[in-house]
Chains A and B, each alone.
Chain A
Amino acid sequence: MIRVLHRWPGLLAAALLVVIALSGAALSLFPAAETLTVPEVEAGLPVADLAQRIQNTYPGVEQIRRAPSGRITAYWFDNGTPGSAVIDPATGIRAASADPNATERWLTNLHRSLFLGDTGRIVSAIGAGALLVLTLSGMFLVARRTGGWRRWFTPLQGPLAGRLHVEVARIAIAGLLLSSVTGLWMTAATFELLPEGGSAPAFPADVSGSTGVALKAIPALQQTAVTSFRELSFPYAGDATDVFTLKTDAGTGYIDQGTGQLLVWSGLSAYERVSETVYMLHTGRGASLLGLVLGVMALGVPVMGGTGLLVWANGRLGRPRLRGNVAAGKAETILLVGSEGGSTWGFAATLQSALKAAGQQVHVAPMSSFAPGRYANARRIAVLAATYGDGDAPASAAGFLDKLRALDKAPGAPLAVLGFGDRSFPAFCAFAKQVEEAARAKGWPFLMPMDTVDRQSPQDFARWGRSFGAAAGVDLELNHQPQMPAATSLTLLSRRDYGAEVQAPAAILRFAIPQASLWARLTGRGFQTFKPGDLMGIVPEGSTLPRFYSLASGTEDGFAEIAVRKHPGGLCSGQLMNLQPGGSVRSFIRRNPDFHPGRGKAPLLLIGAGTGIGPLAGFIRSNASRRPVHLFFGARHPDSDFLYAEELAEWSRDGRVGRVEMAFSRGQPPIYVQDALLKDAAEVSRLIAEGARIMVCGGRGMARGVSESLTAILAPSGQTPAMLKAEDRYVEDVY
């Protein structure tokens, strides 16, 4: 819901907001420039002296004004000619022209009304309203993305466009909130939607009727310092009933031009003070530094507009074109799609075309437009749902669960639910499971049990398709080619070979990072940035399915490094083991945020075997903060397949890694990494008590053994590996 509140105002108002923000940013320069160039006033100078100096120079002076910047302007009428100038208060003589700056006036009119008068003011105000909605909804989205309000400034992951959007937002949000609220206030005041704050006091009925009091003999002008002065209007020449009008930051009063007595005084109301503060906060007039800060923050709007548009377009363009979509009321099969990045739409399109080929009438729609009342001819309904984050609805499924729960009666057509996800994430297909539970609670009949597709597996999808076809009474063969991120060619820089002597050939492969253009990085199309623990997908020749390897380096290291072991008959590992420096592979990055050491000072307990050392070595290499790290590493033989032996010795010397405990299965005596843990049980349990985070990487057998050892080690303290996993203190990357 919040995302909808963010997306639509953003898309609809983007161009308008860019115009308003850029003109606002430019306008913020004027008060600052004025403050810098304004002539100085001597401390404590009374208005009487200032007015006298000006009158000496310009006898026909009619009005003197002081701007919040301190700039003093005089207006006079001499020999039938009007004149005006910015005045140097020290001399009362002209210092600069008082004509309004044409550029500033142009920008102001653009900013507040787009040169369209009152209509434009309303459009501008709608822009300010949209900005307010965007900042408020954006705040919730930032908090959601970073994992809570207290983690507002935590570093971000993901494609550059989305990252840039949030990076800019979390700084600019404060300024945009202030500018939008004060802008709305000012528009409301202009259209008289706010109460009128105490206007000038009533004109005095009785005046002395005499004229000619000396300015210096007027007590009110003597007592008012120039710094709190705003405006002095002189009586109209020849009109004995007229008066001096004095405005200060405390109020407005009338002064008799014969006696110099203050006839009427009216102080500023609290409301007027609030209004003036709002005006100051919005324009920067009287607070030019704040104005500049707000101006800089406003510059974030075009950046957020552009990146926001890219984020939206990337999700949108990822959706394939559907041909021959049948109206909801006519279709026999309804396909409802819950997709975040767009890949689930690809599966839906494959399913739709296969059903169509089998003679079915199919209606495909996003889950968010779920409308069972319209499915008059539906014989079956299939929900294809991905998951966003830790079990939230993906973008195209917003509101589905609420609609389903609000139904009086479940639809009669039976339901099939297919979840899409990645089994290595804890919330695998969590949203699809919620849909299934909600449907069950509603009493919706099921066509078939819920099923899942792991990491866009075409095999999983084809298997489900056969069951679905059987249930629907059609022969369904689903041949889906998943959309993979565009692979980039990576060149091998160097390789180090291990393990030949122990019949377990392995290698550390170091690739050059390809240069990606800014546009490619913004749109998430090029080779993305990565950290140790992220995955490098490699598409072997002769296959479309990528294999994934844990990265042993980050972008900051300047190279992409993986540890590979040759699998008998393995297509990808075989090609990699034969790759020579200068050769290249097709590759892309897939993020693996759950397998990052994270920030914090708690010790890291790294456990791995074989090529599982790769990401662990990467964590140690990037441990510039010298966080305590303990490594338990299993290999076959110290002289053959001890990957990263030289680096570990060096990292140990410079403190990137503390203790390194080796376990060699072909040593004397043979020992496995899980045994090494048990041997060091006291130390391991001490580290866990200190809050250590455990990260395991390697084969499934090793991971199971490690888990058993940890179960034994933790038993005395009443903890289990499952409890640590629930606290996110025990993570695995196994294969």
Chain B
Amino acid sequence: MKSLLAALALTTALTLPSIASARPVTLTTTLKDYGGNGAYVALYVTDATGAYAGSLWMAGGKSKYYQHLSDWYRATNGNRAEIDGITGASVGAGRTLKITLDLADALFDAGYELHIDAAVEDMRDSPNEVAVPLTSAGAGKATRGRRYIDSFSYNF
């Protein structure tokens, strides 16, 4: 269980569209029992054109492994400033990562997509495990990941 207060989320680019109106959003990521060491998981957002907009969370503290989160790495070139203050421990197999952030209202129903990359030591890299549009209607709906993520959902 991770929770994060508004102050931290405000440091990311994602709150910029309108600082005035933001709401707490809980992101819940449950991993499969894939039989490996703890997974590195990156949550980030792209805009309507598909361009990287900003990072929400990085689970995994050792930057030398970030290149295995290949889409996130490609978008940010591994820039650690992108995840400054929003980094936590890697997530064990079968465990749930729960983060609460204050996200700007403008991010919803505006073509933004939330992406998750995952990677596990000595196992396959899995960029784009999850890609879900951020919409008010999509809240509370579970999405399955490709390889490591059993389910992901966001709730207001």
Binding site for B on A (CB under 8 A): 62-63, 75, 77, 82, 84, 99-100, 102, 105, 109, 117-118, 189-192, 196, 199-200, 202-203, 233, 236, 245
State the Cβ distance, A72 to closest chain B Cβ, in Å: 14
Complex Cα spacing A509 to B125, Å: 79
- Which residue from A99, A192, A202, A236 sits with its C-beta under 8 Å from B77? A202
Query: With contacts A82-B147, A84-B124, A233-B125 known, is A100 near B62, CB below 8 A?
Result: no
Contacts of B126 in A (CB 8 A): 82
Whether B77 pairs with A100 at a CB distance below 8 angstroms is no
Complex Cα spacing A82 to B32, Å: 13
Contacts of A99 in B (CB 8 A): 35
Complex Cα spacing A75 to B128, Å: 15
Contacts of B35 in A (CB 8 A): 99-100, 102
Contacts of B71 in A (CB 8 A): 236
Contacts of A62 in B (CB 8 A): 124
B70, CB-defined interface residue at 8 Å? yes
Contacts of A84 in B (CB 8 A): 123-124
Contacts of A236 in B (CB 8 A): 71, 127-128
- Which residue from A63, A100, A190, A196 sits with its C-beta under 8 Å from B36? A100
Beta-carbon nearest neighbor of B76 in chain A: A203
Can you name 15 extra interface pairs (CB under 8 A) apart from A75-B124, A202-B77? A62-B124, A63-B125, A77-B146, A84-B124, A99-B35, A100-B122, A105-B37, A109-B37, A117-B89, A189-B64, A190-B62, A190-B64, A191-B62, A192-B64, A199-B67
State the Cβ distance, A51 to closest chain B Cβ, in Å: 16
Q: Is the interface of A mostly helix, strand, loop or mixed?
A: mixed
Contacts of A82 in B (CB 8 A): 124, 126, 146-147
Contacts of A100 in B (CB 8 A): 35-36, 122-123
Whether A192 pairs with B122 at a CB distance below 8 angstroms is no
Beta-carbon nearest neighbor of A117 in chain B: B89
Which 3 residue pairs spanning A and B have beta carbons closest together?
A75-B124, A82-B147, A203-B74
- Count of chain B residues with Cβ under 8 Å from any Cβ of A? 24
B108, CB-defined interface residue at 8 Å? no
Binding site for A on B (CB under 8 A): 35-37, 61-64, 67, 70-71, 73-74, 77-78, 89, 122-128, 146-147
Contacts of B78 in A (CB 8 A): 199-200
Complex Cα spacing A199 to B70, Å: 12
Contacts of B122 in A (CB 8 A): 100, 105
Complex Cα spacing A203 to B51, Å: 14
Complex Cα spacing A672 to B37, Å: 84
Contacts of A77 in B (CB 8 A): 146
Q: List 21 A-B contacts (CB under 8 A).
A: A63-B124, A75-B124, A75-B125, A77-B146, A82-B126, A82-B146, A84-B124, A99-B35, A100-B122, A105-B36, A109-B37, A117-B89, A189-B64, A190-B64, A192-B64, A199-B67, A199-B78, A200-B73, A202-B77, A203-B74, A236-B127
Beta-carbon nearest neighbor of A189 in chain B: B64
State the Cβ distance, B149 to closest chain A Cβ, in Å: 11
Contacts of A199 in B (CB 8 A): 67, 78
Contacts of A117 in B (CB 8 A): 89
State the Cβ distance, B73 to closest chain A Cβ, in Å: 7
State the Cβ distance, B123 to closest chain A Cβ, in Å: 6
State the Cβ distance, B144 to closest chain A Cβ, in Å: 9
- Which residue from A105, A118, A192, A233 sits with its C-beta under 8 Å from B70? A233
State the Cβ distance, A112 to closest chain B Cβ, in Å: 11
State the Cβ distance, B129 to closest chain A Cβ, in Å: 10
Complex Cα spacing A63 to B119, Å: 13
Query: With contacts A99-B35, A203-B74, A203-B77 known, is A196 near B64, CB below 8 A?
Result: yes
Complex Cα spacing A105 to B136, Å: 42
Contacts of B64 in A (CB 8 A): 189-190, 192, 196
Contacts of B128 in A (CB 8 A): 236
Contacts of B77 in A (CB 8 A): 202-203
Contacts of B36 in A (CB 8 A): 100, 105
Contacts of A233 in B (CB 8 A): 70, 125
Beta-carbon nearest neighbor of B62 in chain A: A190
State the Cβ distance, A70 to closest chain B Cβ, in Å: 16
Contacts of B62 in A (CB 8 A): 190-192
Complex Cα spacing A233 to B146, Å: 16
Complex Cα spacing A245 to B89, Å: 28
Contacts of A192 in B (CB 8 A): 62-64
Complex Cα spacing A117 to B128, Å: 27
Complex Cα spacing A190 to B62, Å: 7
Contacts of B124 in A (CB 8 A): 62-63, 75, 82, 84
Contacts of B89 in A (CB 8 A): 117
Complex Cα spacing A63 to B146, Å: 14
Complex Cα spacing A391 to B64, Å: 54
Complex Cα spacing A168 to B124, Å: 42
Contacts of B73 in A (CB 8 A): 200
State the Cβ distance, A409 to closest chain B Cβ, in Å: 57
Complex Cα spacing A77 to B73, Å: 21
Complex Cα spacing A210 to B29, Å: 35
Beta-carbon nearest neighbor of A191 in chain B: B62
State the Cβ distance, B32 to closest chain A Cβ, in Å: 10
Complex Cα spacing A190 to B128, Å: 26
Complex Cα spacing A105 to B93, Å: 13
State the Cβ distance, B75 to closest chain A Cβ, in Å: 8
State the Cβ distance, B124 to closest chain A Cβ, in Å: 4
State the Cβ distance, B84 to closest chain A Cβ, in Å: 15
Beta-carbon nearest neighbor of A65 in chain B: B124
Complex Cα spacing A102 to B128, Å: 26
Contacts of B63 in A (CB 8 A): 192, 196
State the Cβ distance, A94 to closest chain B Cβ, in Å: 15
Contacts of A200 in B (CB 8 A): 67, 73, 78
